[in-house]
Amino acid sequence: MKSNISFVRQSWAVSIMLVLLFAGLISLSLPAAAAAESADDLARSANKMIRNAERNMHNRKLDQAVTLLEEARATLDTLKAADPSHRQLKSLENKYGRIKKQVDKKVGGAKAKASSSSASTAVTKSEKSTGDKLPGGVSKRIRDINREMDQVKRYLAKGTESSAKQAQYILGEVQNLFNDIDKKYGDQFDTSHPDYAEAKERFDRFRGDTDAALAAVEKSNANAEADEAAKKKQSAEWIPKFQAYLSYPGNDGHDPNLLVYVPGTSEPEKFADAQERYEAFKAFYESYQAAEFPHGKTWKLETLAEKEGPQRMADFQKQFADRVITVAGEAEKQISGARAYLGKNNGWKDDSSVKPPLVDKNRMESIDNLVKKVNAALGSGSPEAAKINRSYAALTAQDKEYRLIRADRTFLSPDIYSGGDKKDLLKKARAIITDEKPGSEVLRVTIYKDGWEEKTVEGWRDTSRTQWEKKTFREINANAGVRGGGRVYLYTIYLAQDKTSTGWSNLYGHIMYSDPMAEENVEK
């Protein structure tokens, strides 16, 4: 009876294998387009296989159930690779797991029963070598091995270091399964059996692939380390160069001779140097852009070169232009104002006794300084500076012309004072000029007021504000024609005396202001 059952089982297994072989040959003969299944087709096929496996399990056709489940597993893996988010995948996986667990349990029970019934019968070497079917424990482990190696295949396909190490770990588990087969079933089957041999060959192939992947990872890591070292080395060569142009005082790499910055409007003499620094940095930056960095750049270099450098150049262009506009604009404004003032007609053109307008000396000096700032900032050859210089030249020419006209129309005021102290006043006026203008020659002095003007004032005596005083004094003015420095001037002199308890103090005074005059006008 047992032999008949064994024969039936063997015949059934052979039939299944022939059917599968025939199906495989047919599938190979189909065109590639026909062999390709859609995700929905794969889901339907897997579901059908799982249902058939469940039906065979209930009919105690465990070998067929196991085969169908293996096919279902492969189909599910294909579906997962084709469409990981397929709507039926999760439910099919759960259903497969449930049926697989039941089948494995029943297969294990059948093996235990078969083992106990044949415990008294020794398996001979000849029987092992001629048997077509593997022991159930071996088949079970080979299925486990193939399932594990399917995972190895997926991990190797990812091509990462972690996936290669995971594949290596799984292969270690697979090796343990092979060791378990050898230990428990080594004398019960022929290792040339196709299922075992194919699994072993696949294991050896994946182990070689894994070793190669890990070696490639190790080589890649070594290359990465070399690349990192080269990146740091090349970046370190450029960083100090950028710092020399960009680092302000107190920061690493600061170079006061190369720092790119915009001077304030109060120091236009530094504008030209600042422009040269900017142009030097711009040329340096172009050389940086032309350089190749095959190993990449460090974060520090990228910050300096890709962020701070372009920002500094943009800021310089804007701020420098603003400074130039400020300096040039102020000069233009002052020159235009002075020329407009000189352009006023106060009647001097029609009346020779009226003097033309005059730009104050201090104002002219201020304008002259502004023009010098423009030339220092822009360079006298720049279009903007050239325009301002032309306007300033026109102003100074007009001012010079008017001063000559004023000199021709400048005379000493009439000498009308006749007081008894006139001699003292004339003497004091000459002394003041000699003291304040050493080397000058006094040509003539007049007292052009007919009498003293007395005044009384109150206030603090000095800046210490410690003593309040009331002061009475008298004052009078004089004119003097004076030759000095190759020209003749009309000086207006202030003379005064303080009132005391005994009368009036000694004379004191100073030069109030001066005007150029023609020498021939001194005696007129």
pLDDT in tens, 276-327: 999 999 999 999 999 999 989 999 999 999 999 999 999 999 988 888 888 8
Report residue 269 CA to chain centroid gap: 32
pLDDT band at 21 (very low <50, low <70, confident <90, very high): very low
Helices 383-408, 309-342: axis angle to 10 degrees equals 20
Percent of the chain with pLDDT over 90: 60
* pLDDT computed for residue 109 by the predictor: 63
CA distance between the termini of the chain:
165
Which helix H or strand E contains 479, and what residues bound it?
strand 468-484
* pLDDT computed for residue 120 by the predictor: 38
pLDDT band at 220 (very low <50, low <70, confident <90, very high): confident
Which of 116-120, 259-263, 370-374 ranks highest by mean pLDDT? 259-263
Ranges of each domain in the chain = 1-32, 33-116+134-220, 260-409, 422-521
CB atoms within 10 A of CB 265: 16
Residue pair 39/48 in contact by the 8 Å Cβ criterion: no
d(CA 373, CA 391): 15
* pLDDT computed for residue 271 by the predictor: 84
Q: Record the pTM.
A: 0.45
- Is residue 224 scored above 90 in pLDDT? no
Q: List, as own/partner pairs, every contact residues 506-514 make where C-beta atoms lie below 8 angstroms and the sequence separation is at least 24, other chains included.
A: 507/424, 507/425, 507/428, 509/428, 509/429, 509/432, 510/432, 510/436, 511/432, 511/433, 511/436, 511/437, 512/477, 514/489, 514/490
For the CA atoms of the chain, what is the radius of gyration?
Answer: 56
261-266 average pLDDT score: 86
Residue pair 260/278 in contact by the 8 Å Cβ criterion: yes
- Is residue 15 scored above 90 in pLDDT? no
* pLDDT computed for residue 110 by the predictor: 60
37-62 average pLDDT score: 88
Query: 122-178 pLDDT, tens per residue?
Result: 344 434 443 468 999 999 999 999 999 999 999 999 989 899 999 999 999 999 999
Residue pair 30/38 in contact by the 8 Å Cβ criterion: no
369-391 average pLDDT score: 86
Query: Beta partners for 447?
Result: 478
* pLDDT computed for residue 239 by the predictor: 95
* pLDDT computed for residue 30 by the predictor: 33
| Residue type at 317 in one-letter notation | Q
265-279 average pLDDT score: 86
- Of 496, 490, 488, 483, give the one whose Cα is nearest residue 428: 496
